[in-house]
């Protein structure tokens, strides 16, 4: 974890749900042993004609217990409104995440996480999820693998599989590819799975970075997302 201040602004658009997301975060990993950050995401669009307007507030902190072990937590507040079945519904819910990262040498690290510790009235938005992942670095190449288990139904958890690679070209231009296999529900109510392919690239300097990425479902052509971001290091 590098010691610095950073400010990040991201914007994304998802075609299928006609949703826009604007995210702003500020992180301080320099002024104390505990790294801390705050974030805000604004979501607006027409998700299956529910016209959501959502505000996501985050506060996170992380502490390096030793050179090889770090622990983190995040508190989250989601509030907003949408109109399912033509009826206006408002919500204001709180939950949080816990995470642990362990370095197993110079090249390999693993992580564990529990997302949405507190039960809420909107489990479809905040499903309790257990995650595990590993990352391997070899020179300028990083390979990462993640597994998430949505345990809303503990007898039959829904699994999400992720894999990705990043190559750091000339130490200034990261080039990324990714793959996700995740469940979704068809309009008929039938459960299915989709494969999502993603690619992106960026530019990194001593003062900041620029990133752009695109992802698209193999099975659902309209399910694509374009993301752009800019980050400043202070």
pLDDT tens digits, 4-38: 899 999 999 998 878 899 999 999 998 889 999 99
Domain ranges of the chain: 5-233
- What value does the mean pLDDT take over residues 71-92? 84
CA distance 199 to 216: 9
Is the pLDDT at 1 greater than 60, yes or no? no
Going by C-alpha positions, the residue among 29, 33, 40 that lies closest to residue 4 is 29
Q: Residue 150, exposed/middle/buried by CB under 10 A (0-12, 13-18, 19+)?
A: buried
Q: Count Cβ atoms below 10 Å from residue 225 Cβ, excluding itself.
A: 19
Q: Note the pTM of the prediction, 2 decimals.
A: 0.87
Q: Which pLDDT does position 23 carry in this prediction?
A: 97
Q: Which pLDDT does position 65 carry in this prediction?
A: 94
> How confident is the model over 114-136, as pLDDT tens digits?
999 998 888 888 999 999 999 99
Q: Which pLDDT does position 46 carry in this prediction?
A: 72
Q: Which pLDDT does position 234 carry in this prediction?
A: 87
Ranges 47-51, 141-145, 185-189: which has the least confidence: 47-51
Partners of residue 72 on adjacent β-strands:
62, 99
Going by C-alpha positions, the residue among 54, 38, 35, 36 that lies closest to residue 46 is 54
Q: Which pLDDT does position 47 carry in this prediction?
A: 58
Per the CATH hierarchy, to which homologous superfamily does domain 5-233 belong? Answer: monomeric porin ompg (2.40.160.40)
> How confident is the model over 183-216, as pLDDT tens digits?
988 877 788 899 999 999 999 999 999 999 999 9
β-strand pairing of 129-138 with 19-28: unpaired
Instruction: Calculate what percentage of the chain has a pLDDT beyond 70.
Output: 95
| Residue 65 φ/ψ region, left for φ over 0, alpha for ψ in the -120 to 50 degree band, beta for the rest | alpha
């Amino acid at each position: 974890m590098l010691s610095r201040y950073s400010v990040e602004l991201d914007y994304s658009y998802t075609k299928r749900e006609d949703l826009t997301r604007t995210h702003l975060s500020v992180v301080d990993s320099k002024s104390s042993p505990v790294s801390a950050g705050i974030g805000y995401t604004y979501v607006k669009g027409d998700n299956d004609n529910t016209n959501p307007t959502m505000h996501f507030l985050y506060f996170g902190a992380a502490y390096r217990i030793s050179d090889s072990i770090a622990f983190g937590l995040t508190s989250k507040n989601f509030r907003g409104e949408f109109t399912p079945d033509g009826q206006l519904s408002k919500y204001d819910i709180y939950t949080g995440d816990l995470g642990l990262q362990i370095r197993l040498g110079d090249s390999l690290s693993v992580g564990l996480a529990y997302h949405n510790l507190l039960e809420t009235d909107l489990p479809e938005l905040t499903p309790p999820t257990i995650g595990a992942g590993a990352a391997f670095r070899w020179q300028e190449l990083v390979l990462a693998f993640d597994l998430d288990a949505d345990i809303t139904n503990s007898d039959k958890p829904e699994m999400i599989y992720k894999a990705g690679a990043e190559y750091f070209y000339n130490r200034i231009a990261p080039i990324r590819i990714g793959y996700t296999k995740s469940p979704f529900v068809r309009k008929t109510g039938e459960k299915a799975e989709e494969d999502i392919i993603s690619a992106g690239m960026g530019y990194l300097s001593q003062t900041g970075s620029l990133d752009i990425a695109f992802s698209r479902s193999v099975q659902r052509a309209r399910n694509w997302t374009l993301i752009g971001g800019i980050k400043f290091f202070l």
